[in-house]
Amino acid sequence: MAGTETYTLNMGPQHPSTHGVLRVQLELDGENIISATPIMGYLHRGVEKMLENRTYVQGVPYTDRLDYVSSMNNNFGYCRAVEELAGIEVPERAEYIRVIVAELNRIASHLVFIGSLAIDLGASTGMLYTFRDREEILDLFNLVCGARMTFHYIRIGGVNRDVQPEFIEKTYKFLEHVPEFMEEYKKILLGNEIFMSRLKGISKLSQETALSHNMTGPNIRATGIPYDIRKVDGYSVYPKFDFNVVTGKNGDNWDRFNVRYNEIFESAKIVKQALDGLPEGPFMAKVPKVLRPPKGEVFSRTEGTRGELGFYIVSDGSTKPYRVHIRRPSFVNMQGLNDMCKGYLIGDSVAAFSAIDPLMGEVDC
Amino acid sequence: MFGKGLITGMRVTLKHFFGKKATFCYPEEKLPMPERFRGGHLKLDYKKCIACQLCSMACPNGAIELKVVTDAQRKRHLTSYIHHMGRCMYCDLCIENCALHSLHWDQNYEISAYHREAFDYEVLTDSDREYLKQVMEAAAANPAPPIVPKKPVPPKPAEAAKPEKEGEKAEEKTETEGKPNE
């Protein structure tokens, strides 16, 4: 019998299924993957350095450009870190509005995940349905902050402007719509045999491996560890709301999909409760025009859409941060790619990649 | 039964095939933009503007380039307001920092262009320049009295060694360039 030889295949940097510019170096034996090495840095813009060269207030719009599918969560994380550093007390109404927009953005981001996973597996119809419904959320954001992608809505000390009655009314209408379109996805994707066979039992990760790679977010919850910073830390006004942490069992791609699918319902639940209990009051704390936080350092973490989003900021008492480091969940989750691809076929690498749901803007920062 | 899920999915697709359209024909039909919409060109209410340059200083990217002139009454006016749209992030900080609310977005979102030069957008219009000319002439006809230099303060014993500052003279028509931020 003739011996086989392994060969290297570069998937990307320009590849339709890499969600941006990422190169995955696949070591292949025939069609079997021996190893998959993600090579990053094609979208590096030096956001951390940019933040160090600008004042605290000017830095907020740059965080929009990290995880550009869920910008609200990035704004939230950065503003929370600066507020902690400067000791700014945020009014309760602002916190409620922040939670509403952050959770709406989480729904939008998970819809993109479902759509892109469907299109990566060849079901282009599935993507059209999710993008149709994401459009409703983007229109809501356009109404409240005037932008559809890079929101720059959550500011240091509160939010930019108060929500209009029209926004609240339309959000209620959207929430009524949620079970309807989720039922449609269920019919199109969840019951589909091809979709199931492409995901079930593929790219399994054990709890130990996922933990050793420090994965967070839906990726770790899919392995069965109920780790959600909204519950663990209980930051902002999240402890006031009743919601469950969705977990999976096997840690395969099917569970990763299902965790995100069910998280949409939980997020919708949080938005509903927040809208019902929206208190009156100011939407912005009194923040000095020239913000000079006292000397010190802070690490603040929030539950971003893709996992634990942390901001480490060092202040030297001037108007600009001395050092900013961003713990990006996509970047850390990407480290699990090798273990997820090893031993599976080439076609499964696309599914594995899509199931991690990384965003190149955040991976390269 | 294998294939049951496929058929259920196809039924949904078929329902939408005959259902209402979710799209619209873009160039023919246009969506109205909400009141808070950020995008397009900057619009300046020139008569309100006092050329304080706060918008330019608030910009994180240095996308606003200003040229300021001082008239005979020692009031500042803009002679040029260039919005470098290629550098602009549409973050709204310039508009929020405008003390007199004289800066706005226009609601236009069709800003693509064939040439890079089109992204250096001059915000001032011809009527603004006409107004500037009138104001400058009116100021020149009625100039403010020159600033009388203050009497030198008797130096304290500790600071006696330091050289005294000269009194500032009234400067006429000095053109200063707004420095980009950073």
Domains of chain A: 42-364 (1.10.645.10)
A144 contacts chain B (CB < 8 A): yes
End-to-end CA distance of chain A: 49
* Tens-level pLDDT at each residue, chain B (182 residues): 677 888 888 888 888 888 888 888 888 888 888 888 888 888 899 888 888 889 999 999 889 999 998 888 888 888 999 999 888 888 889 998 888 889 988 888 888 889 988 889 888 889 988 998 898 888 888 888 888 888 877 777 665 555 554 444 444 444 444 445 54
Which residues are CB-contacts of B134 (< 8 A; sequence separation ≥ 6)?
none
- For B81, the token pair is 């307001």
Where are chain B's structural domains?
A: 42-143
Chain B residues with CB under 8 Å of A188 CB are 9, 12-13
A192 contacts chain B (CB < 8 A): yes
Please state which of the four CATH numbers 3.40.50.1700, 3.30.70.3270, 3.40.470.10, 3.30.360.10 is assigned to the domain occupying B42-143.
3.30.70.3270
- Kindly report the CA angle at A249 between B2 and A360, in degrees rounded to 5? 90
Say what the pLDDT of residue B161 is: 53
* C-alpha span between A323 and A314 (Å, rounded): 5
Chain B residues with CB under 8 Å of A142 CB are 33-34, 37
- Could B4 and A191 be called an inter-chain contact, meaning their C-beta atoms sit closer than 8 Å? yes
CA distance A276 to chain B (A): 25
The pLDDT of residue A313 is above 90: yes
- Could B38 and A196 be called an inter-chain contact, meaning their C-beta atoms sit closer than 8 Å? no
- Could A150 and B58 be called an inter-chain contact, meaning their C-beta atoms sit closer than 8 Å? no
A188 contacts chain B (CB < 8 A): yes
Chain A residues with CB under 8 Å of B6 CB are 192-194
The closest CB to that of B13, out of A125, A190, A196, belongs to A125
Is the bond preceding residue A13 a cis peptide, omega within 30 degrees?
yes
- Mean pLDDT for A162-180 is 91
Dump pLDDT digits (tens) for A60-94: 999 988 888 889 999 999 999 999 999 899 999 99
* C-alpha span between A312 and A47 (Å, rounded): 13
B143 contacts chain A (CB < 8 A): no
Using DSSP, state whether A160 is helix, strand or coil. Answer: coil
Dump pLDDT digits (tens) for A122-159: 888 888 889 989 999 999 999 998 888 888 899 998 88
The closest CB to that of A61, out of B4, B39, B89, belongs to B89
Question: What are the DSSP calls for A188-251, one per residue?
Answer: IIIT-HHHHHHHTTSS---HHHHHHTT--THHHHTTT----HHHHT--TTGGGS--PPP--SS-
Find which of A54, A58, A154, A283 to mutate to test the B interface (most B CBs within 10 Å of its CB). Answer: A58
* C-alpha span between A19 and A292 (Å, rounded): 38
Dump pLDDT digits (tens) for A318-332: 999 999 999 999 899
* C-alpha span between A19 and A208 (Å, rounded): 27
CA distance B83 to chain A (A): 18
Q: Where are the beta strands (DSSP E) in B74-147?
A: 76-84, 103-105, 120-122
- Could A146 and B37 be called an inter-chain contact, meaning their C-beta atoms sit closer than 8 Å? yes
- Could A192 and B6 be called an inter-chain contact, meaning their C-beta atoms sit closer than 8 Å? yes
Say if residues A111 and A130 touch (Cβ distance below 8 Å).
yes
Chain B residues with CB under 8 Å of A189 CB are 9
**Residue A88 CA: distances (Å) to CA of A92, A98, B58, B179:** 13, 15, 21, 32
- Partnered with residue A35 across adjacent β-strands are A27
B107 contacts chain A (CB < 8 A): no
- The reported pTM is 0.87
CA distance B182 to chain A (A): 8
- Could B9 and A188 be called an inter-chain contact, meaning their C-beta atoms sit closer than 8 Å? yes
- For A326, the token pair is 């961003």
**Distance from chain centroid for Cα B78:** 11
* C-alpha span between B106 and B99 (Å, rounded): 19
> What are φ and ψ of residue B43, in 5° steps?
-125, 125
Handedness of CA A128, A132, A135, A137 (dihedral sign): negative
- A186: closest chain B residue by CA: B9
Count chain A–chain B contacts defined by CB atoms under 8 A: 67
Say what the pLDDT of residue A96 is: 92
Tell me the Ramachandran region of residue A47: left when phi exceeds 0, alpha when psi lies from -120 to 50, beta otherwise. Answer: alpha
Find which of B91, B94, B101, B108 to mutate to test the A interface (most A CBs within 10 Å of its CB). Answer: B91
CA distance B95 to chain A (A): 12
Chain A residues with CB under 8 Å of B96 CB are 160
Identify the residue whose tokens are 């900080």. Answer: B93
* C-alpha span between A64 and A74 (Å, rounded): 6
Half-sphere exposure of A340 (CA within 13 A, CB side): 34
According to DSSP H, which parts of chain B are helical? Answer: 4-17, 54-58, 93-97, 126-141
- Partnered with residue A296 across adjacent β-strands are A315
Interface ipTM above 0.90: no
